[in-house]
Structures are given as C-alpha cells and as structure tokens.
Structure 1
Amino acid sequence: MSNLLGQRLQQARQARNLTIEQVARATHLRPHHIQAIEEGRLDAFPSPVQARAFLRLYADYLGLVLDELVARSTGEASPPAAAPAAIRAGPETAPPAPSPRAPDAASAPPSSPDEALVASAAETAPTDRNATAESQAIFRAIGASLRQQRETLGLRLEDVAGQIHLRPQTLHALETGEFADLPSPVQARGMLQNYAHFLGLDTEALLLRFAEGLQRQHQEQLTA
C-alpha cells in the first residue's frame, strides 16, 4: 500500500482530534493495527482479506470512502501504480460495513489473563449441551462479539473460513456460543483464539471469558 493512503487516514484522524486509542475503542481494532495502517504496513496483517476489511472499517469510521481514497492516493503516487490486492474491492456479495459503535465500558472484558489458567480451565472443564442459563449466557455473549466484529468488518463466514481454515459451520457454532457442537473444550478454545485473532479482537480477554464460562458450567453440573 502506498504510504500516502495511510497518511491521509492519519490526517483525517488528527483533524477530528482523535487519538489512536480512541479509534481503537470505537472500532474494536487493536492500536497496533491502526498504526500499521497509517504507516502503510499491510504486510503486518495475516491476509489481504483481513487488511482490506480493517482498512474499510477505519475509513468508514472517519467518514471516508475507501475506494475513492485509494483512487486519489494511487493517482498522486509517483510513479502511478495499481491499488494493491489487499485494498481492492472485496467479494461482490460482501455486505457493507455498518458504522462501528464504541464499546460499553460496563461490559468491557477484563484484560491480560493468566494464559496457564485459561488453558487449564479449558482442559479440565467438560462441555455439556444441557448447560444452564448462566454459563450459556457467557458463551452466547462471546459468540455475539465475534459475529458483531465480523459484520462490522463486512466479512461473510465464507470469507473468514477460507482464511483461517475453519468450516463455516464451525464459525457459526462459535458465533452462536454453541461450543457443545465442537469436538472438545480444548479444540473450542483453539478455534476461538484463532477466530478472535483474525478479527483483531482482544484474544486474551475472550479466552478468559471462555474459561469463566467453562467453570460456571462445571459448577452447574455439580449442583444439578
């Protein structure tokens, strides 16, 4: 990507008196992803699909049209160059990205969990299809955050499936919180981590929430 595009996004952000941290909270993009976009480092993203989605979300948040921005930036570059594949128009059937909303501070996930604690909880707590409301509510909330971020990025399940090598049915189970449909809690944790990372979400916070849901589920089974 021409750094001119990143500079235009940076200038638009600064003109609105926004910090990178404020944009990150509103769009659910990670600060280092926003910085990479502004510096023109699309190679920092795992795939062109992810880079394009993050670019479009950032431009939409700033009230800019990405395709027009790309055309202007590449047109002024010297020598002129075609827009990179990562920022060309995506799949024709991909829905437009809705305007992102700032997260509710009261429902913000905790930060920086102990990775060993999360792994231990995922390995020892069983998954039960008959889990009662409290644990299942946690799982559904996790799934909703995945679905909301994917839709905000304007991606279809099929777009994501081709990038992270998970079937659309598996992604649907993750987005609906139906972790009992997955082979095991350990595999569910790995799939959740993979999907959340691709979407640019706070992976550690979601894994901690997942571990909490498993612990709640285990307690419910003991008292049933």
Structure 2
Amino acid sequence: MITLGIDTATDRCTVAVRAGMLEAERHLDGARGHATNILSLIDDACKAVGVTIGAVERIIVADGPGSFTGLRVGAAVAKALAWRREIDWHTAPSLLGRARRRVPPGGGVVLALADALRGELYAGRWEFAGNGVEGRDGFPRTVLPRDLAALIPVDVVVGPVPAALRAEIEAITGSGVIDGEPAMADARALIGLLDLADVTTRVSDIDNWEPIYGRPAEAQAVWERKHGRPLPTPPGIAR
C-alpha cells in the first residue's frame, strides 16, 4: 500500500511516502513556507520512491495540537488529495510521532513536549511496549511547566521546548530534554504509527474532520485581549 504522511503541526513541514519497502521524507523549516511548498515536497517524496501523488492509497495526518495555520494547511492538502477517492484516512498527534522516534530499546515511557506559547506547553505522555501504546487517553494536553509533575516518572523527555522553560522542565521531570534535530517532527514516524496496534484514528467523514488546534490562534488571542471579549471558538480548540 502506498502511504502518505503529513505533519504541519510545527514550524517544520514534513511529508513522507512509503511504497512497499521504500520510504522517502522531505521537509522544510519555517512556518510561512508550509502552504507554498507542501505540494512540491509531496511530489518530490513520491518521485523518490517511484510513484505519483495520484497513486496514494492511504494518508495519515498529524491532527495537532500545534500551529493553527500549519494544521489547516496540512488538513486542506490531505482533504484535497482524498476528494472523491477511496482513501484510507488516519490521524494521530504530532507529539505521538515524535515520541515514537525516541523510544528506548525495549520500550519505555516518553514525554513529548512542544511550545504552546504564553509560557505553556503541549504535552503528551505515552508508554511504548511491544506493538502497542498505552496512556493515550487525554493526551495531548496544554499544561504549565509545573503541571508536568503529575506526568512523571518518565524514561525520556523530548522537545523542542522554549529555552526559557528548559531548566524548569528538566528540574521537574528529572530528565534532560532531547532537543534539536533528533526532536523534530518526521512524517516517517507518523507513518510508522500505522504499524502499531490501535494507535491511529481512522476518519470516515473526511469533509467534516478538523484538526485539534489545542488553543485559539495567537491572532485571535491578541484580538480578544484588545477588545475584552471572546470570539466564537471553532471545534478542536480548548479554552
């Protein structure tokens, strides 16, 4: 089966294509380039494994939480590729894909974090054992650094996290934060979640599916502070 993975939840736009034993990933850093470059990245990844975009039979999309605009770009492209086609469509949290990249040999508990702005974090804690994942209920969630005390002990903490919060996070979790390239989103890891048992969510009503944004867009938060009243909250956003 030819599978396309799309993760646009962070500043990195990453896509991957798996065709049999062949797999290719392409990415671009910089949130402002997601919309203009994602299709060319997909096309390049398809060519690397010898297929075309039209041959894709299955799609897995990172459903958030993360960048409001980035998630909408990924969702729109995935929906367009699936339009009027029999596509097997799945979603999974970007944090879960990043957590799987850093699972210790033999399994373990991984805490994956991302910057949620305003001094907060997106957090997901999962235990990987054999061919499955435990601890998925209620994750990911938006937390303050002090809230991480309720999520320990863990074997691994993977970022990236804001530099201003790093020392506090490491003190609370008792673990160094994996940062830099090893912590970045990789759509190959998202595709790899399909190899695990009951980890992804299959979507049947693709037209009405929306990402889990996690919180209002920053522009909305600025508007609400300026005007002193809330705007309507779209689906997938926690207040």
- When you count helix as a share of all residues, which structure comes out higher? 1
In which range does the TM-score fall when normalised by the shorter chain? under 0.3
Task: Using structure 1 for the length normalisation, give the TM-score.
Answer: 0.27
TM-score by length of 2: 0.26
Structure 1 or 2, whichever has the larger Rg, is 1
